[in-house]
A and B are shown apart, each in its own frame.
Chain A
Amino acid sequence: MESILLSLSGGLLEAFQPLNLLMIVIGCVVGLFIGAMPGLGSVNGVAILLPITFLVPPNAAIMFLAAIYYGAMYGGAISSITLGIPGASTAVATVFDGRPLAIAGKADQALTAAAIASFVGGTVSVVLFTLFAPPLADFALRFGPPEEFALMVLAFATFIGLGGDDIPKTIFSILIGLVLATIGLDIISGRPRLIFFDISGFMHGINFLVLAIGIYGIGEMLWTLEQTEGNVIVHKVNMSWRAFLTNLGHVKYYIKTTILGSILGYFVGTLPAAGATPASLMSYGLAKTFSKDPESFGKGNVAGVAAPEAANNAASTGSMLPMITLGIPGSPTTAILLGGMIIWGLRPGPLLFTEHPDFVWGLIGSLYVANAFTVLINLAFIPLFVRVLTMPFTVLAPIIFVLCVVGGYAPSQTMHDVWLMLLFGVAGYLLRKLNYPVAPAVLAIVLGPLAEQSFRQSLLGSQGEVWIFFERPISATCIAIAAALVLYPVLRGLRKPAKAQA
């Protein structure tokens, strides 16, 4: 314990070196904007800025990259909330409640909640990282394919168990997502599946961000245009100090969700297979399931913004763990960090902690500092971001449309994806008119491939024996919790009508 504190203080001192501090601050600001721009994404952002890192010593450089990564995690929430377009895949779950809040004129509340939750998520996870990195790295090793599959089952259960929603419609939505996730080349055998009309674009599968931008960006725009007949303009925007303090005071409504989301996010992030997107979706599902007021989720509940934001920030710190100790980056952005490390002659692996403590602790220290700066910068920028909403929707709609097209084109740079995105936009709008929840479809397309892969790997390993999922303690526990989650709202649903009749 003492040695950890000693190392940590060394790391913090390192992060407070003038040059390092400057790089962290610049990184946070740049990251914030990169995250907020749909389609730019932190992968491209970090790649474009990589050259800067060669102008400074390696320690400052890796802190810079980590700060961008961190800032982008915060920034993703901004376009999710203000425009209803997920700026990054990790911020999709933030749209679910963030956008309705913005429409109701509470964008400042949502943005404050996102910033605070991100801060808590970041802080909780970096503390966990400081204290428990080595044992958690060992624990992550115990996750083989059966455990990964059980975790995915758990994630799906959090969504089926969304109390209040129509359960058959939720299951239907998940199934649609799973079918879409099947498109492309089979993960295990490499055979093409569901290549519609022999269009080669389908070989690459459906990019998750294309689906999310279509359903949320375009679908939401169509919906708003219909509702308002192009009339509404201004959302009220409240920007006094008092409003700000009141918003801060709202922390009490979502602090529990936030802490739960942070711990969950950190843990899911440390597993090499998962990463921040599944973590944020799972956290949202759990928050809704255990909320006293599940009906209000999806309609503008601040806890629905806080849960995914806490989890995605926590997971992004968590995913540094497999990168450092196993050399397996948990996300494309950490992969770029990994590239940076290799160039500077740092080989990630179990020995990095002991052989290069300066580097590792400097990085951890910089996470503390970056987290504190990003929340301050973010809070300071909120008045600017909510200004966007004061534009008449007739002006905003074309801007949203353009950003969606750019965001749909950017990931793989093919027009195929833009058409698909528009198609999903129309489909999303129709599903919404028919009262189908679309969030479960989004979850399914993220988790479907992960679940399928680990399921098939498990069964290959067990010679087709399904009991493998129940024999291993970790996977059995996950499945038991999943079963409980599915049954919980059903039981609660049974009790309610009984009461109503009485």
Chain B
Amino acid sequence: MNIARRGILALAGALGIGAMIASAPGVAQDWEPKKPVEFIIMAGTGGGADQIARLLQGLIEKKDLSPRPFIPINKPGGSGAEALRYLQDKAGDDHVVLVTLNSFYTTPIIQQDLGVDISNFTPIGRMALDTFLLWVNTDREDITDLDSYVDAVKAAGMEWKVGGTGSGQEDSILTAMMEKEFGYEVTYIPFPGGGTVAKNLVGNHIDSTVNNPAEQNEFMRAGNTKPLVQFTPERMQSYPDVPTAQELGHDIVYFMQRSINGPPDMSPEARDWYINLFKTLFESEEWQTFCVEDGLTCDEWVAGDDLAAFHAEQGKRHQELIESVGAAAITGE
């Protein structure tokens, strides 16, 4: 019995050390987290959103910005539907935030029966605008530019496999936009995250993808995959030699917001605390360096009501985009 008690004490001690360190006092404020904060990622591990969440989690700890840790949790199911629904069900909870992709807009539009209305969520801050490029495996020596790509896709027809992170996810919209612009049709295969897509492209299980830079950079440096086109208005600093679609006469420009949002009915005190926290992170040297390296645009901090307005405008734009390419083209039905 004695030994058992000692064991329990040892355990309590071990946990105590963790708890003490975790609860080291931060800046005194009206509200601060009283328990660990769930940091929900609406995509799988290894993808852009995942990397961002894990970097932010680490920076929060490193700079001791929160009295309680942030715990990243991936909820990739159904193009983010799982995460959105989870956040909706957490209404009024001050200890959960979501890092978003554009499926934040598109998934509720495409999946009406999900019963999620993002305008009820609590906007906190926009960390970055992410960009897209078109990637193929370097083994495809026949494909050197956009024209040869389009030729190859047309020759393959429905055999051409484009990997992405889910029907209705931003890459599927971009894929649908390309299908419409170039007049071909491809087979779209969803994977649980951008990292898995990249792996399948390197392994030649899919033929192309429109991944974010963060998901492909290391494979590009290793000579496994190559970018053909970027879908930005101007060439990015990190890809000076890759033409934009506009330069080549195709008007396809597409961005993805990376923002932090709370559940519906988050208390105003908590919201202000999070806005403050993420603003500090946004302005940190580490974050700005990450943005440059990974082809993210991080010029402007948009928070709170401004972000709500941005969401409303983007929601409308995505509604139009989905109508113009047709929801069926995106869901593959």
Check if B191 sits within 8 Å of A51, measured CB to CB. no
Flag whether B212 is at the interface (Cβ < 8 A).
no
Interface mask (B192-210 → A, CB under 8 Å = 1, otherwise 0): 1101101110111110000
Residue with the highest number of chain B CB atoms closer than 10 Å, among A37, A45, A327: A327
Q: Is the CB of A351 within 8 A of B218?
A: yes
The tally of residues in B whose CB lies under 8 Å from a CB in A reads 80
Instruction: Please tell me which one of the listed residues B6, B113, B190, B195 contacts residue A326 in the complex, with CB atoms under 8 A apart.
Output: B195
**Would you call B167 and A188 a contact (CB within 8 A)?**
yes
Q: Which of chain A's residues 311-335 have a Cβ closer than 8 Å to chain B? A: 322, 326-329, 332, 335
Contact in complex: A192, B113 (CB < 8 Å): yes
Is the pair A51, B21 in contact by a Cβ cutoff of 8 Å?
yes
Q: Is B69 an interface residue (CB 8 A)?
A: yes
Q: Are B58 and A342 in contact (CB under 8 A)?
A: yes
Are B224 and A326 touching (Cβ within 8 A)? Answer: no
A44 touches B78 (CB 8 A): no
In the complex, B268 has a CB within 8 A of chain A: no
The answer to the question of A460 belonging to the interface, with a C-beta cut-off of 8 Å to chain B, is: yes
Chain A proximity of B85: nearest CB distance (Å) = 5
Which one, A200-208, A242-250, A417-425, A435-443, is touching chain B? A200-208
When the two chains form the complex, which single residue of B85, B187, B203, B222 contacts A200, counting CB atoms closer than 8 Å?
Answer: B85
- Complexed CA–CA distance, A326 and B198 (Å): 8
- Chain B residues near A190: list those with CB within 8 A: 77-81, 107, 110-111, 114, 166-168
| Stretch from B43-51, B128-136, B173-181 contacting the other chain | B43-51
What residues of chain B lie closer than 8 Å to A381, measured between beta carbons?
A: 7
Asked whether, in the complex, the Cβ of B158 is within 8 Å of the Cβ of A328, the reply is: no
Stretch at the interface among B59-67, B141-149, B240-248, B254-262: B59-67
Q: Report chain B residues within 8 Å CB of A273.
A: 196
Which of A29, A187, A322, A391 contacts B78, CB < 8 Å?
A187
Cα–Cα distance between A309 and B25 once the two chains are bound (Å): 40
Given contacts A191-B78, A328-B195, is CB(A339)–CB(B58) below 8 Å?
yes
| B18 beta carbon closer than 8 Å to chain A | yes
Given contacts A200-B85, A461-B187, contact A189 B192 (CB under 8 A): no
B325 adjacent to chain A (CB < 8 Å): no
Question: Does residue A370 face the partner (Cβ distance < 8 Å to B)?
Answer: no
Complex interface: chain B residues within 8 A of A169 (CB): none
Chain B's closest residue to A53 (CB) is B61
Q: Does A470 contact B (CB under 8 A)?
A: no
When distances are taken between beta carbons in the complex, the residues of chain B under 8 Å from A253 are: none
Query: CB-nearest residue of chain A relative to B53?
Result: A339
> Which residues from A are CB-within-8-Å of B202?
141, 326
Q: Check if B100 is an interface residue, CB within 8 A of chain A.
A: no
CB distance from A9 to the nearest CB of B (A): 27
Please indicate the chain B residues that have their CB under 8 angstroms from the CB of A47 in the complex.
36, 57, 69-72
Contact at A29–B14, with CB atoms within 8 Å? yes
Chain B stretch 275-301: residues in CB contact (< 8 A) with chain A: 286
**Residues B213-268 near A (CB distance < 8 A):** 217-219, 221-222, 224
Q: Which residues of A contact B331 (CB under 8 A)?
A: 189
Query: In the complex, which of the residues A43, A205, A349, A385 contacts B219, with contact meaning CB atoms closer than 8 Å?
Result: A349
Known: A33-B14, A192-B113, A203-B82. A460 touches B189 (CB 8 A): yes
Report B141 CB to chain A, min CB distance, Å: 19
Q: Which residue of B lies closest to A384 (CB)?
A: B7
CB of A186 within 8 Å of the partner chain: yes
B11 in the interface (beta carbon within 8 A): yes
- Contact residues in B for A37 (Cβ distance below 8 Å): 11
Asked if B4 and A387 make an inter-chain contact with CB atoms under 8 angstroms apart, the answer reads: yes
Query: Is there an interface contact between B77 and A335, defined as CB atoms closer than 8 Å?
Result: no
Give Cα A33–Cα B11 distance, bound, in whole angstroms.
6
Number of A-B residue pairs, CB cutoff 8 Å, is 197
Interface hits, B1-16 → A, CB 8 Å = 1, 3-4, 6-7, 10-11, 14-15
Interface residues on A, range: 35 or more
Q: Are the CB atoms of B187 and A350 closer together than 8 Å?
A: no
Task: Check if B77 sits within 8 Å of A185, measured CB to CB.
Answer: yes
- Rounded to whole angstroms, the CA-CA distance of A37 and B161 in the bound complex is 45
Contact A142–B203 (Cβ < 8 Å): yes
CB distance from A77 to the nearest CB of B (A): 16
Q: In this assembly, does B269 line the interface, its C-beta being within 8 Å of a C-beta of chain A? A: no
Q: How far is the CA of A385 from the CA of B45 in the complex (A)?
A: 35
* Set of chain B residues within 8 Å of A413, measured between Cβ atoms: 38
CA distance A19 to B180 in the complex (A): 59
- Is there an interface contact between A350 and B45, defined as CB atoms closer than 8 Å? no
Do the beta carbons of A44 and B36 come within 8 Å of each other?
yes
Q: Is the CB of A191 within 8 A of B203?
A: no
Cα distance A44–B72 in the bound complex, in angstroms: 10
A338 within 8 Å of B by Cβ?
Answer: yes
Determine if A175 is an interface residue (Cβ-Cβ < 8 Å): no
Whole-angstrom distance between the alpha carbons of A204 and B187 in the complex? 28
Contact with B along A146-163 (1 / 0, CB 8 A): 000000000000000000
Q: Are A463 and B158 in contact (CB under 8 A)?
A: yes
Complex alpha-carbon distance, A384 and B54, angstroms: 37
A187 touches B192 (CB 8 A): yes
Q: Is A4 in the interface zone, CB < 8 Å from B? A: no
A336 in contact (CB, < 8 A) = yes
Check if A131 is an interface residue, CB within 8 A of chain B: no
Interface flag for A54 (CB, 8 Å): yes
Closest to B223 in A: A350
Decide: A30 and B218 in contact? CB cutoff 8 A. Answer: no
A189-B328 Cα distance, complex, nearest whole Å? 12
Q: Select A327's contact among B22, B38, B46, B192, beta carbons within 8 Å.
A: B46
CA distance A328 to B190 in the complex (A): 16
Give complex CA distance A47, B70 in Å.
8
Given contacts A387-B1, A463-B187, A203 and B58 within 8 Å (CB-CB): no
Given the complex, which residues of A lie within 8 Å of B6, measured CB to CB? 384
* In the bound complex, CA of A51 to CA of B55 (Å): 13
Question: Which A residues, 460 to 496, have Cβ-Cβ distances below 8 Å to chain B?
Answer: 460-461, 463
Contact check, B4 vs A384: say whether CB atoms are below 8 A apart: yes
In the complex, per-residue mask of A168-205: 1 if CB is within 8 Å of any chain B CB, else 0 = 00000000000000001111111110000000110111
Q: Which of B11, B45, B74, B167 contacts A189 (CB 8 A)?
A: B167
The answer on a CB contact under 8 Å between A336 and B54 is yes
Determine if A335 and B21 form an interchain contact, defined as CB atoms under 8 angstroms apart: no
The answer to whether A328 touches B69, judged by C-beta atoms less than 8 angstroms apart, is no
Which residues of B are found within 8 Å of A205, using beta-carbon distances? 77, 82
B58 lies within 8 A of A343 (CB): yes
Kindly list chain A residues whose C-beta atoms are within 8 Å of the C-beta of B57. 47, 50, 339
Pairwise interchain contact B7-A457, C-beta atoms closer than 8 A: no
Q: How far is the CA of A332 from the CA of B10 in the complex (A)?
A: 26
Instruction: Name the A residues within 8 Å of B71 (CB-CB).
Output: 43-44, 47
Contact partner, B85, options A203, A332, A383, Cβ 8 Å: A203
Name 20 extra pairs, CB < 8 A, besides A50-B69, A460-B189. Answer: A33-B15, A48-B19, A48-B36, A51-B64, A141-B199, A144-B200, A145-B205, A185-B77, A322-B199, A326-B199, A332-B74, A335-B54, A336-B72, A338-B54, A339-B57, A343-B58, A349-B219, A384-B6, A387-B1, A457-B190
8 A-B contacts (beta carbon < 8 Å): A50-B58, A188-B167, A189-B331, A191-B111, A339-B57, A343-B55, A349-B219, A383-B3
Please list the 3 inter-chain residue pairs (A to B) with the smallest Cβ-Cβ separation, ordered nearest first.
Answer: A349-B218, A190-B78, A144-B205
